[in-house]
Structure 1
Amino acid sequence: MSVSVLFHFAFDPASRAARLALGEAKVAFEENAVKPWEPDCPVATLNPSGMTPVLQTTANSRVLTVCEQTAILGWLEDRTKDAFLMPSDPFERAETRRLVSWFDRRFTDEVDAVLLHERMEKPLLRLGPPEARALRAGREALKHHLVMMEALLGERDWLAGRRMSQADIVAAAHLSVLDYFSEIGWANYPALKTWYMKLKSRPCFRTLLSDRFPGVAPAGHYTDLDF
């Protein structure tokens, strides 16, 4: 295998984080868009958990299968002697890990598991229309997290400190999916909006902006770099 292949689902935040990080690292890769919920999904034979993303690449003439967001981001760090998306400063490294865990756990459980279930998973799995009560709960939880991010970015250039890190990549991956479904009122979070526009303008973000979810048009500003 001469070219790396990323098996991913376009609206999975972890898959988006992998795509952003690979693009930022300038690693050439082919995209293999999959549907993890289908029984014949190739990811089921590559990753015991059946979860996306999965990267297949070569290392020392051997095929390497790197499963899921944490391993892929770690593999990218291991490729270079210099800090890539994990800062060299000990405080910022610790803060990066804290923020990535926040999104992997609390944000996923309180926001994605509710809003993306109602807006995305239900249509895909034909589970019926969104429930108003669940949408309200998910949106209230989202506001809480956005307020915390706004506070951090009011004091810092990037989420973890002075330079872009894994925390920014992972956070942007989550927010970009929610933004597609018009779930973020950016006007209420000016520092967060400025941060997101900086990330959105980076070349690695371009492929995400071309993603389309069947039957749902993106928010009107979704592809605008300065909105």
Structure 2
Amino acid sequence: MRILYHLPLSPYARKVRLALNEKRIPFELRVERVWERRDEFMDMNPAGTVPVLAEENGLVLADSYAICEYLDEAYPELPLLGRTLAERAEVRRLVSWFDGKFAREVTANLYYEKQMKRLMGRGNPDAAALRAGYANLKPHLDYLGWLAETRLWLAGNFLSLADLTAAAHLSALDYIGDIDWTVNDAAKDWYARVKSRPGFRPLLADRVSGVNPPPHYADLDF
């Protein structure tokens, strides 16, 4: 059985979990406490980050984008990167937006400060970082809402890795109660569609010690 090393609220690990689920590829989850820097794990990924995917044939892959590109090429029956050059370029642009710009401006200021610092024993959240994260979140939700209003899915007429990437980041923040879904109805409606998919349900069942999600977290109808 292939193994995915992860942390339950890691947006990057969640993205790979969603991709595997959408493609109906069986896998086993193993929690990796990256701050422990296990020798065996560091041998698999010297960067010391999750996700890491260990295939049954011994192939080990690190980095969420590299893993998702591999999955789309190795299991092409249900493509998540699009079929045309234009589609693939747009999917990649949006994946970069959420894994890069959104992650720097929002995820790092909220998820890292409130969750990862606690796990790693690095003190209390930085108040300035939290303020920046909350301030940055609204324009990102507005942009996501605009995409959802003008397209069937974020990158076009098909569910893609762009949707899974955005949902992975938002679901981690939603778990810790940091998203006010009333600020953009289109973004909320899009997220409700994504989290209603069968492949999303395992993420909604995640629970983290010491942190309880808000009541709406696992509610498919909000």
TM-score bracket, normalised by the shorter chain, equals over 0.9
1:140-219 superposed matches below 5 A: 140-219=135-214
Q: Normalized per residue, which structure has more helix?
A: 2
Q: In the alignment, residue 60 of structure 2 is paired with which amino acid?
A: T
Q: CA deviation at 1:68?
A: 1.7
CA contact (8 A) 1:43 1:52 kept: no
1:128 aligns to 2:123 (yes or no): yes
Give me the whole-angstrom Cα distance separating, in 2, the residues matched to 1:116 and 1:205. 20
Q: In the alignment, residue 82 of structure 2 is paired with which amino acid?
A: P
1:17-36 superposed matches below 5 A: 17-36=15-34
Q: In the alignment, residue 11 of structure 2 is paired with which amino acid?
A: P
1:8-87 superposed matches below 5 A: 8-40=6-38, 42-58=40-56, 62-82=57-77, 84-87=79-82
Per-residue CA distance 1:178-202 (angstroms, 9 max, x = gap): 0011111112211111111111111
Q: Percent identity?
A: 45
TM-score, length basis structure 1: 0.92
Q: Give ranges in structure 1 of 5+ residues lacking alignment.
A: none
Q: CA deviation at 1:85?
A: 0.2
Q: CA deviation at 1:221?
A: 0.3
Match of 1:114 among 109, 118, 123: 109
CA contact (8 A) 2:142 2:187 kept: no
Partner residue, 2:83: 88
In structure 2, do the counterparts of structure 1 residues 81 and 116 end up closer, same or farther at CA, with 3 Å as the change threshold?
Answer: closer
Partner residue, 1:224: 219
Give me the whole-angstrom Cα distance separating, in 2, the residues matched to 1:183 and 1:81. 35
Worse-matched range after superposition: 199-208 or 82-91? 82-91
Q: CA deviation at 1:82?
A: 4.5
CA contact (8 A) 1:5 1:55 kept: yes
RMSD between superposed Cα atoms in Å: 1.5
Worse-matched range after superposition: 36-45 or 161-170? 36-45
Q: Give ranges in structure 2 of 5+ residues lacking alignment.
A: none
